[in-house]
Copies of this chain bind each other. A is one copy, B any other.
Amino acid sequence: MTTGEHLIGFGTSKSGNDTFYGKFASTGNLLPTSFHECTSEELEAAVQLAKEAFPIYRKKTDAERATFLRAIAQEIVNIGDELIETACAETALPTARIQGERGRTTGQIEAFATFISDPAWTKTIIDPAQPNREPLPKPHLVQKQIALGPVAVFGASNFPLAFSVAGGDCISALAAGCPVVFKAHPGHPNTCELVGRAILKAAQSTGMPEGTFSMVHGRKHTVGTHLVQHPSIKAVGFTGSYQGGKALFDLAVRRPEPIPVYAEMGSINPVVLLSDRIKTQGESLAEGLSGSICLGVGQFCTNPGLVLLLKQDIDFLQKVADKLNQMPLGTFLNEGIASAFQIGVEQFTKHPKVKKWTKNEVGPNLFSVDSAAIAQHPELLEEVFGPSTIAIVCENKADLIQVVENLPGQLTGTIQAEKEELEANMDIVEALEQRVGRILLNGFPTGVEVSAAMVHGGPFPATTDSRSTSVGTQAIYRFTRPLCWQGFEF
């Protein structure tokens, strides 16, 4: 059962008068618990506790923080079916998907616990003293990564567990030694509360200071704005829309003390299909691509919203459309996403330069446009969140490379090519490398492995900081900075 309270340190509060409710995503009906827009006093209390917790929390040993993280994972499992049922109700995602996502979430927590259990995570560099060096002695220098300070994290709507309360942003910040003030996503507030309480149980049972974690609710921009502007907040993690992420970035860099913002803002994830690959693998390619387009009702940051192919291969699009015509649309996470999808699809359908390949009135969509039209119509490269993909039909390889070079920054880029074909087209690979955080050969971009080598990031506007990843253990370094100790005996 949820209470609708903000979780402020080890206490709770819901003093605001402005309330809202979680909804059954499949019907739009309200769930029973009322949530309260966070007041400025409540927000101040949460941030103040985080500030006070920081000097204590950052000095906890790596082993102590790893124990805390593992306790979080255990407490999430302990919630049991209530978590699965609540998340399914609030998102309309299938039970198996949410169960899988819970496993991904606890697996990710375990990965960070393991990562910080190896002292190598601090990237210690030691330059030994040379007391007899001429003309000046060399001092003893030790560099390590240290925690930045209290972090504000904004959860995503599309992964109610893996990119939400105990998702990669929050857990990587906690792993680094940073307290977190979490802004719950209003799309699944009940799910958020269950997980938030699990984190606090873990914090209490493992002796973490009050303020290590707090969670506040709000549907309005005010809460997030005040959080990002608060002088005690030292970094921001965000996953969501371009509008939301860019707004937080703009606030953060205009503070008297600017702070880093790691906003992962989505992407259309170009997939380049080369001719030999289409010839030899056409059937499985169409199968794989249409599956990737429809996975999770197309509501993934890495959804392949853009296909690039040569004019000579245009018939392949009919194969993909045939597959998509047989696939159901599914239920969106919320009404906002559903209506934005309908608007986006209508705009493409009515666009004078766009051809629609799918026959569905309601369903996944495939469109195409000639490359020549793209320069005049940059709106065709805007993300339609959901199962909708547009193919850019290119005159020739040089044309295709130019399209790639002019793409806005992307989380991923994929090339589908036979072995010899790849060798002859490394210039396409090199052009893609410049526009993306992850480049895939003969795969599909959905399915983001949680591992050390993963980069879930990329050039702006895919993210606000291409030097980082929000998935995988390297995500911890978004919330650290190097400190050098000179002349200390260690």
A contact set with B: CB distance below 8 Å = 55, 59, 125-127, 136, 138-139, 141-143, 146, 148-149, 249-250, 253, 257-258, 260, 409, 430, 433-434, 436-443, 447, 449, 451-455, 457, 459-461, 464-469, 474, 477, 480-488
Copies in the complex: 2
Q: A127-B449, A127-B453 are in contact. List 4 more A-B contacts (CB 8 A).
A: A257-B459, A260-B465, A433-B483, A436-B483
Give CA–CA (A148, B441) in the complex, Å: 22
Q: Which residues of B lie under 8 Å from residue A485 when comparing CB positions?
A: 438-439, 441
Q: Are A466 and B481 in contact (CB under 8 A)?
A: yes
Q: Which residues of B lie under 8 Å from residue A136 when comparing CB positions?
A: 447
Q: Are A439 and B482 in contact (CB under 8 A)?
A: no
Known: A467-B260, A488-B441. A125 touches B482 (CB 8 A): no
Nearest CB on B from A278, distance (A): 18
Q: Are A469 and B482 in contact (CB under 8 A)?
A: yes
Q: Are A482 and B474 in contact (CB under 8 A)?
A: yes
The one of B257, B434, B453, B482 that contacts A461, using a Cβ cutoff of 8 Å:
B257
Q: Which residues of B lie under 8 Å from residue A449 when comparing CB positions?
A: 127, 138-139, 141, 486
| Interface-centre pick from A149, A453, A477 (highest chain B CB count, 10 A) | A453
The one of B253, B443, B469, B481 that contacts A139, using a Cβ cutoff of 8 Å:
B443
Q: Are B141 and A453 in contact (CB under 8 A)?
A: yes
Interchain residue pairs with CB less than 8 A apart (17): A125-B474, A127-B453, A127-B454, A138-B451, A139-B440, A141-B449, A141-B453, A141-B454, A142-B453, A143-B453, A148-B466, A149-B434, A250-B253, A257-B409, A438-B483, A439-B484, A443-B486
The one of B59, B249, B477, B481 that contacts A258, using a Cβ cutoff of 8 Å:
B249
Known: A136-B447, A143-B474, A441-B487. A467 touches B453 (CB 8 A): no
Known: A453-B126, A481-B466. A258 touches B460 (CB 8 A): yes
Nearest CB on B from A121, distance (A): 13
Known: A443-B486, A483-B437, A487-B440. A125 touches B452 (CB 8 A): yes
Q: Which residues of B lie under 8 Å from residue A249 when comparing CB positions?
A: 253, 258
Q: Are A467 and B455 in contact (CB under 8 A)?
A: no
Give CA–CA (A466, B139) in the complex, Å: 23
Q: Are B437 and A482 in contact (CB under 8 A)?
A: yes
Q: Which residues of B lie under 8 Å from residue A258 when comparing CB positions?
A: 249, 253, 460, 464
Q: Are B438 and A486 in contact (CB under 8 A)?
A: yes
Nearest CB on B from A464, distance (A): 7
Give CA–CA (A441, B455) in the complex, Å: 38
Nearest CB on B from A307, distance (A): 18
Q: Are A484 and B454 in contact (CB under 8 A)?
A: yes
Nearest CB on B from A466, distance (A): 4
Q: Which residues of B lie under 8 Å from residue A250 when comparing CB positions?
A: 253
Give CA–CA (A250, B252) in the complex, Å: 12
A433's nearest neighbour on chain B, judged by CB, is: B483
A451's nearest neighbour on chain B, judged by CB, is: B127
Give CA–CA (A249, B434) in the complex, Å: 24
Q: Which residues of B lie under 8 Å from residue A487 when comparing CB positions?
A: 440-443
